[in-house]
Amino acid sequence: MSRAIDIPAADGTIDAHFFTPAGIQGPLPGVVLFTDIGGVRPCYHEKAQRVADHGYAVLMPNIYYRDARGPVVPEGKSFRDPDVRPTLFSYAGHLTPEAQSRDFAALLGCLDREPEFANGRTGVVGYCMTGAFALRMAAEHPDRVAAAAGFHSARLAEVDDPTSPVHVVGTIQGRVYLGHADRDELLPAAQIARLDSALAAAGVHFITELYQGAAHGFTAKDAPSYDAAADALHHKRLAMLLEETL
């Protein structure tokens, strides 16, 4: 159960999709779901619907709306193709912390206006590079974000990176869940420890979990690193977080 929507934002118009559970009338608690670096595509529509089916109204924006509308990766191609990766990296380079902040404001404004969404606090979940988006959104809007989750997140606490979300997590008031691949070269153990220390020092209620044997991208069904068991666990943990907070 989904519908497309255009959201006015400071930098343009965000094309996005709403997902709601079949047969359940709203308004429902809202969840913002950010895709991984590959952008909107069938496996993420499926993922958003599965979250919605637990009783939520899920908003999935096109994170690359500044550069392209709709899917960015051509059908039959993937992020790993050498003729696709440069485009995605170029688009991703425009998603600075400042740009993210403007988008967060637009997305929260959408939640306030649309009838699918109940008033009150919301959840946010990100994958790959957008695990950082989820943490940043929770930090910048502590009064609105009750739950933030990240799965196979990338580069959350790099040394000497002034834009790292590790520097802003101290303002988070909601719950945080982070599901990491234990063989993820994009988030080595030292970064996980650094982020955990920052969250603990700030008194954030958080859980960090290593998914044994999983590799980066373990929730993406169109990736060779997809792991069905780890994906199922990710859905279980996310459902639990949202149920306990929303």
**For every residue of 106-143, which 3-state class applies, written as one string?**
HHHHHHHHCCCECCCCEEEEEEHHHHHHHHHHHHHCCC
| 148 residue type, one letter | A
pLDDT tens digit sequence for 99-147? 999 999 999 999 999 999 999 999 999 999 999 999 999 999 999 999 9
Question: Given strand 2-9, what is the order of strands in its sheet?
Answer: 2-9, 12-19, 57-61, 30-33, 122-127, 145-151, 175-181, 206-211
From the list 60, 72, 226, 68, the residue with the least C-alpha distance to 152 is 226
pLDDT at 183: 85
Contact 30, 57 (CB under 8 A): yes
How many other CB atoms are found less than 10 A from the CB of residue 8? Answer: 10
Fold for 2-245, please state it: Rossmann fold (3.40.50)
Q: What is the mean pLDDT of the chain?
A: 96
Interatomic CA distance for residues 72 and 208, integer angstroms = 31
pLDDT per residue as tens digits for the range 3-15: 999 999 999 999 9
**Residues linked to residue 17 through DSSP beta bridges, in sequence order:** 4, 60
Q: pLDDT for 144-201, tens place per residue?
A: 999 999 999 999 999 999 999 999 999 999 999 999 999 899 999 999 999 999 999 9
